Structure 1
Amino acid sequence: MFNKLTDRHAAITDGVFAIAMTILVLEIAVPTVAVISSDAALDEYFINYLAPSILIYFISFYLVYNFWENTVILFNFNKISYGILTLNMLTMASVCLIPFATGFFFNFYNYINVNLFFSLLILIISLLYILIFILLIRNTFKGYFDKKDEIKNHLRNDGIELPNLKLYVRGVTLTLFYILLAPVCTSLISIVLAFVSPLLSVLSFLLTLILVFIIRMKRMGKDHLENVDLTDDEKEFVDNIRKSIYGE
């Protein structure tokens, strides 16, 4: 029953993200004929509203997509408790606010308070993901880290040595932690820049895309088993851990 509940949570989570990503574009207002009565007015609409709105739309769309991708990765863990599912629902409720915050941004992107509101929302969602990650790591690997010496002694008696296991577990989970940390860093940067330049505050979220790309390029390759000096027994054991994290 709990496995079915988890599957239903995953399904509704995908639905929430799909709707949120679709609604984003609907927040861009189309001007009426009464408002646009000349070429000059249309040019002013393009420069002062449409161009900034499209930029903000793509940034918001990527942020929502990034959060969805994080959710997909986190749902690959096996030990998902009721508490984690509750936190996930709280995260989804916060994600649903992104289209509203984006629409607010479209009209008042040059105001400090609006930049702060958007940045704080992204920061809160990012911190919720990190909290979920910490709980998942604790639940998934608690048995190993609490009784690692007993496990190693038991396996050693069977002729299996696991000298690199703890380092490897740290490595693959650290990669995921860095990915989750990227929007936290950019949100904090955006909050600071909001007092300097609203435009820079918005553009700072592009760092999320850059940081996540760099992290994946730099660390994902290091997490593959062929790049780690492990015995055949270790590779089989650790491969199961990797599957629980990345769903491979």
Structure 2
Amino acid sequence: MANIELFNKFTDRHAAVTDGVFAIAMTILVLEIAVPTMADISSGVVLKDYFINFLAPSILIYFISFYIVYNFWENTVVLFNFKKISYAILTLNMLTMATVCLIPFATGFLFRFYNYFDVNIFFSLLILVISLLYIVMFMLLIKNNFSEYFDKKDEIKTTIQDSYDDGIEFPNLKLYIRGVTLTLFYILLAPVISSVISIILAFISPMLSLLSFLLILVLTFIIRIKRGSKDSLENVHLTDDEKELVGNIRKSIYGE
């Protein structure tokens, strides 16, 4: 019991550190926007050129990066709602945090060289790597917290497909469960899809490559609207603890 309490305290401290990382990352994003000196602005024409060619794109990039970081923070909030969190998952989360800390640097890079396709590819690859790390973490979390479903996957698959026309099958996890886990998986896929599209568009238009990340906002909104009424637990046989767990995840997703 003492070891469990110690680990719970360690997990709470870990969550606090994670929140701190995100708070700092979101704050220093704006600091990457350089303020010109009087020596740089010699006339109204130069100032206008600065607004058009640097400040306006930088503010757009700032808001896009800010929302991306916020989206990753939302994923982390869901992560700490799971009851069974292993040291391996916490270590993987710290690796993810280290990668998240690179976003302000990549954003500053974009501020200065947003019109170069290779800089856009660098930024997109960074977001893709972070997105994939989150998917790996949640695969492990679902496996740890719903391990009993592995032994009854065929029964659960039949139940879901009979009662719900959008049954889920994770071949790698062998997990078949209806509801918020499917919504969560869709939400985790949103930045992956946006990153891949951004990499492709970087060869066509750097600005379109950046704007493609707005898909995260659009897809997440659509997923929550479309899935909200379907994420009930009425037809899923869960224990009280499991219902509480999934209920907490639902609250994190929908803010209910």
TM-score band (shorter)? Answer: 0.7 to 0.9
Which segments of 5 or more consecutive residues in structure 1 lack a partner in the other structure? Answer: 152-162
Q: Alignment partner for residue 172 of structure 1, among 169, 176, 180?
A: 180
Distance change (3 Å), C-alpha of 1:97 and 1:149: closer
Q: Which residue of 1 aligns with 2:216?
A: 208
* Selected match of 1:45 from 29, 47, 50: 50
More helix by share: 1
Contact 1:169-1:241 within 8 A present in 2 as well: no
Q: Pick the aligned partner of 2:35 from 30, 33, 43.
A: 30
How many angstroms does 1:244 deviate by? Answer: 5.1
Give TM-score, length-normalised by structure 1.
0.87
Name the CA shift for 1:58/1:147 in 2 (closer, same or farther; >3 Å): same
Counterpart in 2 of 1:79? Answer: 84
Aligned partner of 2:201: which letter? L
Secondary structure at 1:192 match in 2: helix
SS of the aligned residue for 1:79 comes to coil
Q: Distance in 1 between matches of 2:25 and 2:239?
A: 40
* Partner-residue secondary structure (3-state), 1:169: coil
Does the alignment pair 1:221 with 2:229?
A: yes
Superposed CA RMSD in Å reads 2.5
Aligned to 2:195: 187
Q: CA deviation digits over 1:71-95, x for unaligned, max 9?
A: 0011101111010000000000000
% identity of equivalent residues: 72
1:240 is matched with 244
Task: Determine whether 1:139 maps to 2:147.
Answer: no
**Could you say what secondary structure the match of 2:95 adopts?**
helix
Q: Does the CA contact (< 8 Å) of 2:120 and 2:210 recur in 1?
A: yes
Q: Decide which of 205, 217, 221 is 1:197's aligned counterpart.
A: 205
List gaps (5 residues or longer) in structure 2: 1-5, 157-161, 169-175
Distance 2:45 2:87 in 1: 57
- What secondary structure does 2:178 align onto? helix
Match of 2:172?
Answer: none
What is the rounded CA distance, in whole Å, between the counterparts of 1:240 and 1:48 in structure 2? 51
| Aligned residue pairs, count | 233
CA contact (8 A) 1:112 1:195 kept: yes
Which one scores higher on RCO, CA 8 angstroms, separation ≥ 6? 1
